[in-house]
Amino acid sequence: MENYRLRFIPLGGVIDVTKNMYVYEAYQGDVLRDILIVDCGIGFPQDKGLGVDFVIPDISYLNDKADKIRAVLLSHGHEDHISALPYHYERLGRPPVYASKLTSLFVKSKFNEMNERVDITGIDYKKKYQLGVFEVQFIDITHSIPDTVHMLIRTPVGNFYHGADFKLDLTPPYGNPPDFYEITKFGREGVLCLLSDCLGAEREGLTLSESVVGETFEDEMRKTKGKFIITTFSSNISRIRQCAEAAVKFGRKIVFMGRSMRENTRLAEEIGYLPIPKESFLKEEDVMRFPPNKVCLVVAGSQGQYSSALVKLANNQNRNVRIKPGDKIVFSSDPIPGNENEVYSLIEELMLLGADVAYSDVQEQLHASGHGSQEDLKFLIRFTNPKYFIPIGGTIRHQRAYQRLVTELGYPKDAVFLLDEGETVLFEKGRLRKGEVIETKNVYVDAYGVGDVGNIVLRDRKSLATDGMVVAALIVDSKLRMVSKPKIISRGFVFEKQEEKMFAEAERMINSILKPKKGKVVNLGNVKKQVADNLEEFFFQKKGRKPLIVVDIIQL
């Protein structure tokens, strides 16, 4: 296997936290033999409120390589690790997909929503899968969702430990604790590179067990006289289960609110992951018929997503349920980096309705992060004892913090490779170096389609949102002579009635541009651009704003 090389390409999940997708390529000499893909998740755009629902990884790089893709492996059922797969599955050549029980169920549901089909191989933890030259083994690990796995990937150049999102939870409320034996055994065998979750690298100590949160729920429920309302990620089945069990204990009926919450809990129930008696559930329509202290609402929207069930509650837009003084609302999740504003506004709106809102800044143990803190991360390093490190699933800040941790354990700083999206690393002859950079762009998804919203559309939406728009309609004859006065319409720019003089001036300016000039061939595109540029300059001088300018020339 001497002339084998391996290339690792993060198509997302680095710098960005979400939108996880990692590509392992095995080359024999210069010939690409096999590709393995780990995860294929959606991301959340940095620019909010521009009508983009989410972003998905850009897989252009894989366009002509579908025949080399041996499998897609999925680490766990969170959206940022699985939900882009239905969008890309066809283009990837419909490769085999490997996933654990709950993950499979969540992925299939995503495919169903889009009327797509997929076959998923449920993983056997005892088996080693030969996928091209890659040998893959899945092991139990703990995170904030059951059935999370890590992957031991044996390749011709060495062993890779793919350590996606995890914490070391010794008392997981559901499922097994981490498989320490297989992890350390792999470490003893020799690990060339550890890819590790790094999102918690700035936090000291060990991350709290999920179980601790369950105890907190009981304490809070006991003290609450009104409705008990909890919001968390709808994929956090363990958390939801603990809350539901506490509700049963205190005789509160449970209502799941929000589409994703209803769908995920339905799937989890299907496979016995939510063993709650049927009679403990209530429909949203019936909430008002029960005394507040007999109700527990589990509501989607902990990140303040604008169309979520919780935001609707905060805005009094839900006909069935109203937030009242005495209600307790528990945010059992931290804001994803970038979502802070939305989350804190939502908290404040709920407070204004008279609710008592608890969130992790004011109260400990409402939320246990799903991501390992410094000690969790150090344990994994000691268990696997790798030669190289690639921190994944974190921003630059988290990657740097992870690098510091690694050096504290006595490794050299340059054993850690900090990657940006599309930056590749090349392993050959047991060594690692940075390779060429693969170009990627954001692929935006909104309610109407995938990828038809590009960066330009977003830039336009952003300028519309801040400065408004101006449309100039020019009606000309075949020789580009104006047949009537230009018409200027604006929206969101200035109050037109008060600015009639300015718009009249703008019209005169357009007239002067359109005036035929001797000996010049007039080109429609050029005129459009000239008019637009002049208007932009004109309005900026007058108002200091840059509305989006649309020039429409109608030739008769």
- Binding residues for a copy of itself, rule: CB under 8 A, are 170-171, 177-178, 180-181, 183-185, 187-188, 205-206, 375, 378-379, 381-383, 408-410
β-strands 328-331, 228-231: how paired?
Answer: parallel
* Nearer Cβ to a copy of itself (41/175): 175
Q: What is residue 531's three-state secondary structure?
A: helix
Annotated catalytic residue: which of 81, 162, 371, 398? 371
Q: Which residues of 138-165 are buried (b: 16+ CB within 10 A; e: fewer)?
A: bbbbbbbbbbbbbbbbbbbbbbbbbbbb
In whole angstroms, the minimum distance from the beta carbon of 180 to a copy of itself comes to: 5
Q: Which residues of 440-451 are buried (b: 16+ CB within 10 A; e: fewer)?
A: bebbbbeeeeee
CA distance 153 to 98: 14
Which two structure tokens, joined as six digits, stand for 537? 């300059």
* Nearer Cβ to a copy of itself (136/206): 206
* Nearer Cβ to a copy of itself (121/407): 407
Q: Which residues pair with 482 in a beta bridge?
A: 476
In whole angstroms, the minimum distance from the beta carbon of 205 to a copy of itself comes to: 6
Q: Please state the three-class secondary structure of 276-341 as a single string.
A: CCHHHECCHHHHHHCCHHHEEEEECCCCCCCCCHHHHHHCCCCCCCCCCCCCEEEECCCCCCCCHH
Which two structure tokens, joined as six digits, stand for 34? 């096999």
Q: What number of CA atoms fall less than 13 Å from residue 278's CA on the CB side? A: 1
In whole angstroms, the minimum distance from the beta carbon of 92 to a copy of itself comes to: 37
* Nearer Cβ to a copy of itself (67/204): 204
* Nearer Cβ to a copy of itself (111/379): 379
In whole angstroms, the minimum distance from the beta carbon of 246 to a copy of itself comes to: 17
Annotated catalytic residue: which of 165, 197, 334, 376? 197
Which two structure tokens, joined as six digits, stand for 36? 């393995």
CB proximity list for 334: less than 8 A, separation 6 or greater = 360, 367, 369
* Nearer Cβ to a copy of itself (10/178): 178
327 catalytic, yes or no?
Answer: no
* Nearer Cβ to a copy of itself (176/455): 176
Handedness of CA 240, 362, 228, 251 (dihedral sign): positive
150 catalytic, yes or no?
Answer: no
CB 338 within 8 A of CB 238: no
- The enclosing H or E element of 88 equals helix 85-88
In whole angstroms, the minimum distance from the beta carbon of 181 to a copy of itself comes to: 4
Q: What is residue 205's three-state secondary structure?
A: coil
Residue type, 304: G
Handedness of CA 250, 255, 260, 265 (dihedral sign): positive
Q: Which residues pair with 97 in a beta bridge?
A: 72, 120
Which two structure tokens, joined as six digits, stand for 122? 């449920």
Residue indicated by tokens 């979750």: 197
In whole angstroms, the minimum distance from the beta carbon of 375 to a copy of itself comes to: 6
* Nearer Cβ to a copy of itself (178/547): 178
CA distance 405 to 378: 7
In whole angstroms, the minimum distance from the beta carbon of 243 to a copy of itself comes to: 20
In whole angstroms, the minimum distance from the beta carbon of 182 to a copy of itself comes to: 8
In whole angstroms, the minimum distance from the beta carbon of 232 to a copy of itself comes to: 23
* Nearer Cβ to a copy of itself (307/407): 407
CB 57 within 8 A of CB 21: yes
Active site residues: 197, 371
